[in-house]
Amino acid sequence: MKEIINTILLEWQNRELPETKERDTILDNYLNTGHIIIVKGFRRVGKTFLFYHLIKKLLKDHSKKEVIYFNFEDERIPLKTGFLSALLPAIKEFHGQSPRYLFLDEIQAIPDWSRWLRRILDTENIKIFITGSSSKMSEREIPTELRGRYLGIELLPLSFAEFLDFKNIPAPPGDLKNIDKDAYLNYLREYLEDGGMPAVVLAEKGLKKEIILNYFNTLIRRDIIEKFKIRNEEVLKDLLKLLMNATHFTGTRIFNNLKSLGHIVGKSTVLKYISYINDSFFMDELLEFSPKVKNQLQRERKIYFIDNGFIGLANSRLNLKEGRFLENSVYYHLRRRFKNADIYYMRAEKSEEVDFVLIDDVQGKKMIQVSYSLELASTREREIRALALMGKKLGLNEGDIITFDSEGQEETTWEEHSIKINIIPAWKFFL
């Protein structure tokens, strides 16, 4: 183990870091906390490059003896607790000192990693950053010994602003006036259709689908099948197909659909598989807003996937104008922008639906509807009526509709409830 550590340390000394881009998530803000910093998220969203970006800043004032990086997906590293136990003594012997900053990629593969981290935090003056892309880094599975001792940061695929930066497109002025709107609409189409996974954004058009497919296969094989020792791969694959071709689901409906496909599987197993998919950061479920928790748990849930590229992979005939790409992107933008808000959807008795209801202790309640276009009078009426009806229930007199390009304001009254509607083009909303 000592020999492996020494080899990796020597390689680190001689390694030239790749070019990096500033992200909306800036780790510099966490340098002076006494906590372990956990950067979690789906594979390939840029966690390692986020580390590299901070490391390059630190190396302006520190040497590589003080700033050390280990990737635990390196096949030379044995997945044994003993490797962690040997790590710091070996570093001290190799450099003659302890590191000041320790960056550890995908450490959750090592048994007892959390207990080791807690010991180091309690006995050493080292700032520790770690990443994770598995369920072991989800809020509900962080080990007890780290509770209260870490700060968790979720990194998502690129926002639209980050997408433009990665493509070296000049940022628009802050007031978004006097810009080439058509150019930004073209960039928005590309962003909505191909998604925001960094390597995909930077790839040539002909390679994008191949990269996304590779990510998807890695998710199935490494993050679900191997990690959770799943034996019935066909059930999992068909389950993913059903989910990725749906916008709403219930566990019972998915179970019945799998049975109709000829699968012999228990409902508890299906629910367990869905939880594995969620814990891999691949999918989010949105509950229906209701004062009664029982109703929230029993009713249909909406589904959103970590990146639009995966939606396009599963639905090759899906048209951008159908709105699913836009709604998926809006959901994750809300996750970035309103980090402390609870997000739900809401439905009335006649099936009118508001896509997002945000509830924040500071900012209160907010309604957001998503519709690619409001050109059809029937579509416009449906979306506004839903906001008005839900606004009446929630005591809100304002709601937003995010569209691809429409913009404006109007005030209307439904069932004696007056409401102001803000129609916002997506490119403005995202920026």
Mean pLDDT of the chain: 93
How many CA atoms within 13 Å lie on the side-chain side of 424?
20
pLDDT higher at 179 or 222: 222
Instruction: Quote the pLDDT of residue 115.
Output: 93
Where are the chain's structural domains?
2-154, 319-431
Instruction: Quote the pLDDT of residue 415.
Output: 82
Given a cut of 80, is residue 178 above it in pLDDT? no
Instruction: Quote the pLDDT of residue 262.
Output: 97
Across the range 93-118, mean pLDDT stands at 94
For 319-339, the pLDDT digits (tens) are 888 899 999 999 999 999 998
Q: Using 50, 70 and 90 to split pLDDT, how confident is the model at 68?
A: very high
What's the rounded Cα separation, in Å, for the pair 368 and 355? 6
Across the range 46-51, mean pLDDT stands at 97
CB neighbours of 119 closer than 8 A, spacing ≥ 6? Answer: none
Six-digit token string for 405: 């390009």
Given a cut of 60, is residue 118 above it in pLDDT? yes
Instruction: Quote the pLDDT of residue 336.
Output: 95
The answer to whether the beta carbons of residues 43 and 198 sit under 8 Å apart is: no
Q: Using 50, 70 and 90 to split pLDDT, how confident is the model at 129?
A: very high
Across the range 149-163, mean pLDDT stands at 95
Six-digit token string for 368: 């957001």
Q: Determine which of 112-126, 133-147, 258-272, 367-381 has the lowest per-residue pLDDT on average.
A: 133-147
Across the range 138-142, mean pLDDT stands at 65
Across the range 147-170, mean pLDDT stands at 93
Instruction: Quote the pLDDT of residue 84.
Output: 97
For 10-31, the pLDDT digits (tens) are 999 999 999 999 999 999 999 9
Q: Using 50, 70 and 90 to split pLDDT, how confident is the model at 292?
A: confident
Beta bridge partners of 67: 101
Instruction: Quote the pLDDT of residue 140.
Output: 60
For 384-425, the pLDDT digits (tens) are 999 999 999 999 999 999 999 999 999 999 888 899 999 999
Predicted TM-score (pTM) of the model is: 0.94
Instruction: Quote the pLDDT of residue 136.
Output: 59
Given a cut of 80, is residue 195 above it in pLDDT? yes
Q: Using 50, 70 and 90 to split pLDDT, how confident is the model at 181?
A: confident
Output the CATH code of domain 2-154.
3.40.50.300
Percent of the chain topping pLDDT 70? 98
Across the range 265-278, mean pLDDT stands at 95
Given a cut of 60, is residue 135 above it in pLDDT? no
Instruction: Quote the pLDDT of residue 134.
Output: 66
What's the rounded Cα separation, in Å, for the pair 222 and 240? 15
For 353-378, the pLDDT digits (tens) are 999 999 998 878 999 999 999 999 99
Given a cut of 80, is residue 351 above it in pLDDT? no
How deeply is 35 buried, as exposed, middle or buried, from its count of CB atoms within 10 A (0-12, 13-18, 19+)? middle
**Burial profile 239-272: b = 16 or more Cβ within 10 angstroms, e = fewer:** bbebbbeeeebeeeebbebbeeeebebeeebbee
Given a cut of 80, is residue 83 above it in pLDDT? yes
Given a cut of 70, is residue 123 above it in pLDDT? yes
